[in-house]
A and B are shown apart, each in its own frame.
Chain A
């Protein structure tokens, strides 16, 4: 009856795994915030299926529920039926991209800013130069509102721009093997110091570390928006850059990228040329916290009064890794470690979500900030750059200047026994 009613974009078998039990509801940040079933995982799957079957049309209006999803995948971790929610979400977003005409602002944000600049380290370097001028000249107020917040994360001056060493040798014996570091896109430009910390930790653990040339964005910035074709191109670029057969592991220190890298297998399953190496790559991918044994390093005692840990969604929910980073932080922090209420609830950063859905991102950020402050902690440790910036911004907005938010690599490296300069 209606040309917009299109069908058949979901993997039917995976979509029908949802039995509508509702056990996911209380894990979903947008549902907990709004109480609206449309903004819950069960509700969203119901709407995806309805769109898929043509029961409801695919329009800007019916996309509301899907657009508002953080993609944090907390629902997947609690789903008794094992529904692959993340995959259903990507399939639906791809369908929306094909079928729904978006406004120019949204297009500018996702296509130009996120996919066009953030995902390309070299372009981001270029974009950062005028951004630094703006900050140095104090002209932030002339920048469009949506970009003001990302701008606040840019340092006025260029940090240590020395590139990462292509190969670093461990001095520890016996050597455990060679690992490759995924430098990524945003991380490599804005968090290169965190990469140095990561390399130092891996060296201390007994690994030689290589940083392969020719790598780029893992593809997450595309796949989370449903741009699967571009995500596949990113994956292939990385597969060509990494020769995994000689590696003990491919190490990543950003949770969002980690879950995408671990999904290269399914992402390229239909690609006859790349499917085998994609599988091999995913099998070898490890989060940094999976590579470090808390007791194998002689940590210096921590001086911090109180330390807590915020689960990065794509580590805790997508990769189901919650204990490894906690055990490391606890080992270093000792009695200073405290758990934070709702540490497994998304902070609202969610990749580029804080740019495309600022209202909900802001609500979740305030909620997170409240939880951080309730612990009276000195340090919040986390495993993903987006979460880090989001929590810093939240604390800044709450006029708190005493709580630091640190990447787990930087937190741990600060407690390494001897300074290993790289």
Chain B
């Protein structure tokens, strides 16, 4: 199907005229040719071209745009870098996309109180870059941290490899400014000048992870932590995922809290090795990356204990990163593992299920069975420490029937996660992709309670609609019907 560029945009002309009153010409994209790239984020299975994209420069402009959407009764969708993996910012018909990409500055750094005020479109890693010279860092480190924005992190309560020890976004965001769907600008949580505890209900906490349904976050006050004095990074080489999983359980049971505890299976290790040439053993059944950080005095004892526990669980060998560069290279391999999949397959569907740590061997066996059942390769790279799995189901979107198999395989894996007492999302969010699973994981009453909380913030449900909650009418184009991205 071709994009119809010969027709004028179908955007409501009155809405467009109002937007032009608020914004400059270069802040509005309404030509169909300019809108195509906004039809999806990093989740490419479903697509929908929006009717207009706006690029505000300030909270004031965001508020005016939102009021304009209210006046014309249209939905609006916040967008950061578009790295989301669950379609959490999929446009719907007539929606206005509000891109925060121009509001990307670190506004203020308070070294003494270890906090920074940043705009929502600020890239996660830029915060650490801005405070590194003071020996500080921003802890949550999603694998996409070199591109994803802090606003998106707040919307999805992002985690990352190091959240095992340091916690997720909600543990590091003190407060934020949010434009509510009626156009009102409020601040939730601690302010730049105020103390850390605000008293009253923690509405800040309630809004983190709302997937953009409560309003548009425009400025964020983040907590900074001192960079650890020292570290030990170990690589356990195991013959099987079972052995590596048992080592994970034993390490946690020993009382050690690693900064990160990550596992890669054989297939992903081969892809990563092809991409980055780190020197991983290609015949290993599973690799375990264990990072310990903190005060130098205690680290060596912990490292020796981790080595002992790995070897006790039949590790073939345990390597150590000897230099900062080796450590950085190792993390680069881990964090860019998803991208290396491009070398194996044109498309992949990643899942984000969670299981109790003790069930890791069981779910990994199930994934292997699912892979065989559907005839699709499924490499795995995941946060073993918190039982958050990321099976990457490889498919080719030009074969409609393969897409179908991939979706089915993913669904079965998530069903199994729920049966094992887990959840369908650890960090990627529900988006449109997993909305159907909400009824499996939560009772009707639970979902109703969530919906009524959402209605308090967004009574007309115009702010990023049709996400997270199961909805009969999911208006979308499935990739097989609209081949553009191959």
Asked if A and B bind, the verdict is yes
Chain A: residues with CB nearer than 8 A to chain B?
1-2, 5, 12, 16-27, 31-32, 34-38, 40, 42-43, 46-47, 49-50, 53-57, 61-62, 78-83
Residues in B with CB closer than 8 Å to A46 are 36-37, 484-485
**Complex interface: chain A residues within 8 A of B41 (CB):** 22
Chain A residues with CB below 8 A from B38, complex form: 37
Q: Which of A55, A57, A81 contacts B343 (CB 8 A)?
A: A81
Smallest CB separation, A273 vs chain B (Å): 33
Residues of B within 8 A of A22 (CB): 41-42, 81-83, 144, 147-148
Q: Which of B37, B82, B341 contacts A81 (CB 8 A)?
A: B341
Q: A19-B347, A35-B102, A53-B484 are in contact. Are A80 and B121 (CB under 8 A)?
A: no
A55 touches B81 (CB 8 A): no
Known: A21-B42, A47-B37. A55 touches B147 (CB 8 A): no
Query: Quick one: given A46-B485, A53-B484, A82-B343, are A23 and B3 in contact (CB under 8 Å)?
Result: no
Could you tell me the dominant secondary structure of chain A's interface residues? loop
Which residues between 320 and 362 of chain B lie within 8 Å of chain A, taking CB atoms? 336-343, 346-348
> Nearest Cβ distance between residue B329 and chain A, in whole angstroms?
14
Q: Mark B102-123, 1 if CB is under 8 A from A, else 0.
A: 1010000000000000000101
Pairs A–B under 8 Å by Cβ, sample size 16: A12-B486, A17-B342, A22-B42, A22-B148, A23-B83, A23-B146, A23-B339, A26-B146, A35-B55, A36-B29, A53-B486, A61-B33, A80-B342, A81-B340, A81-B341, A82-B342
Within 8 A of A (CB), among B412-447: none
The answer to whether the Cβ of B380 comes within 8 Å of any Cβ in the partner chain is no
Chain B residues 393 to 417 lying within 8 A of chain A, measured CB to CB, are: none
Smallest Cβ-Cβ distance to B43: which chain A residue: A20
Which residues of B from 231 to 250 have beta carbons under 8 Å from A? none
Given known pairs A26-B123, A46-B37, the reply for A79 and B339 (CB within 8 Å) is yes
Which residues of chain A come closer than 8 Å to B125, judged between CB atoms? 26
Closest 5 CB pairs of A and B: A80-B339, A81-B342, A35-B101, A80-B336, A35-B102
Q: Are B3 and A37 in contact (CB under 8 A)?
A: no
The interface residues of chain B lying within 8 Å CB-to-CB of A32 are: 104
Which residues in chain B, 16-66, are within 8 Å of chain A measured between CB atoms?
26, 29, 31, 33-34, 36-38, 40-42, 44, 55
CB atoms of B147 and A82 under 8 A apart: no
Distance in angstroms from B26 CB to nearest chain A CB is 8
| Contact partners of B29 in chain A: CB under 8 A | 36, 38
Q: Is B2 on the interface with A (CB-CB < 8 A)? A: yes
Contact of A62 with B336 at beta-carbon distance under 8 Å, contacts A26-B147, A56-B5, A81-B342 already known: no
CB B162 to nearest CB in A, in angstroms, measures 18
Give complex CA distance A54, B34 in Å: 16
Q: Which of A19, A25, A26, A38 contacts B339 (CB 8 A)?
A: A19
A5-B2, A26-B123 given as contacts; is B339 within 8 A of A56 (CB)? no
Most buried by B among A5, A16, A47: A16
Q: How far is the CA of A78 from the CA of B144 in the complex (A)?
A: 11
B223 at the interface (CB under 8 A from A): no
Known contacts being A35-B99, A55-B3, A80-B275, is A21 close to B144, with CB within 8 Å? Answer: yes
A406→B483 CA distance, assembly (Å):
50
Closest to B100 in A: A35
Query: Given A55-B2, A62-B33, A79-B339, list of 20 further CB < 8 A pairs?
Result: A2-B6, A5-B2, A19-B342, A19-B348, A20-B485, A22-B147, A23-B83, A26-B123, A26-B147, A34-B55, A35-B101, A35-B102, A35-B104, A50-B484, A54-B2, A56-B2, A61-B31, A78-B146, A80-B339, A81-B342
Name which of B38, B101, B104 has the most chain A CB atoms within 10 A of its CB.
Answer: B101
Question: Which interface residue of A22, A26, A34, A42 has the most chain B CB atoms within 10 A?
Answer: A26
Contact of B5 among A16, A27, A36, A57 (CB under 8 A): A57
Asked whether, in the complex, the Cβ of B81 is within 8 Å of the Cβ of A26, the reply is: yes
Residues in B lying within 8 Å of A, measured CB to CB = 1-3, 5-6, 26, 29, 31, 33-34, 36-38, 40-42, 44, 55, 81-83, 99, 101-102, 104, 121, 123, 125-126, 144, 146-148, 275, 336-343, 346-348, 483-486
Chain B residues positioned under 8 Å from A38 (CB to CB): 29, 34, 37
Q: How far is the CA of A56 from the CA of B38 in the complex (A)?
A: 15
Interchain CB contact under 8 A, B339 and A37:
no
Q: How far is the CA of A80 from the CA of B342 in the complex (A)?
A: 8
B55 contacts A56, C-beta separation under 8 Å: no
Question: In whole angstroms, how far apart are the Cα atoms of A56 and B31 in the complex?
Answer: 12
Chain B residues contacting A20 (CB-CB under 8 Å) are 40, 42, 44, 485
CA distance A62 to B44 in the complex (A): 22
Instruction: Specify which of B1, B34, B38, B40 lies most central, judged by the most chain A CB atoms within 10 Å of its CB.
Output: B34
CB closest residue in chain B, given A12: B486
Which residues of chain A are within 8 angstroms of B347 by Cβ–Cβ distance? 19
Q: How far is the CB of B129 from chain A (nearest CB, A)?
A: 8
CA distance A310 to B296 in the complex (A): 36
Residue of A nearest to B39 (CB): A46
Interface centre among A21, A27, A46 (most CB of B within 10 A): A21
Question: How close is A382's CB to chain B, nearest CB, in angstroms?
Answer: 21
A248 to B294 alpha-carbon distance, docked (Å): 48
CA distance A79 to B121 in the complex (A): 21
Q: How far is the CB of A2 from chain B (nearest CB, A)?
A: 8
The CA of A46 and the CA of B42, in the complex, are separated in Å by: 12
Question: Within 8 Å CB of A78, what residues of B?
Answer: 146
Q: Give the docked Cα–Cα distance between A61 and B148 (Å).
A: 29
In chain B, what residue has the closest Cβ to A35?
B101
A80 / chain B contacts, CB cutoff of 8 Å: 275, 336-340, 342
How far is the CB of A360 from the nearest CB of chain B, in Å? 12
Which of A31, A37, A40, A53 gathers most chain B CB within 10 Å? Answer: A37
In the assembly, what is the distance between CA of A12 and CA of B339, in Å?
18
Bound state CA distance, A314 and B34, in angstroms? 29
Contact A50 B346 (CB under 8 A): no
Residues of B within 8 A of A47 (CB): 36-37
Q: For the complex, give the distance between the alpha carbons of A38 and B40 in Å.
A: 13
Please, which residues of chain A bring their CB within 8 A of the CB of B5?
56-57
Distance of B460 from chain A, by nearest CB (Å): 27
Measured between beta carbons, the chain A residues less than 8 angstroms from B55 are 34-36
B-side contacts of A31, CB under 8 Å:
101
Q: Would A49 and B484 count as touching, CB distance under 8 A?
A: yes
Taking the nearest CB of chain B, how far is it from the CB of A63, in angstroms?
A: 10
Bound-state Cα–Cα, A54 to B3, Å: 9
Please give, as numbers and ranges, the residues of chain B lying within 8 Å of A54 by CB-CB distance.
2
For the complex, give the distance between the alpha carbons of A54 and B2 in Å: 7
Nearest A residue to B2, CB-CB: A55
Nearest Cβ distance between residue A390 and chain B, in whole angstroms? 23
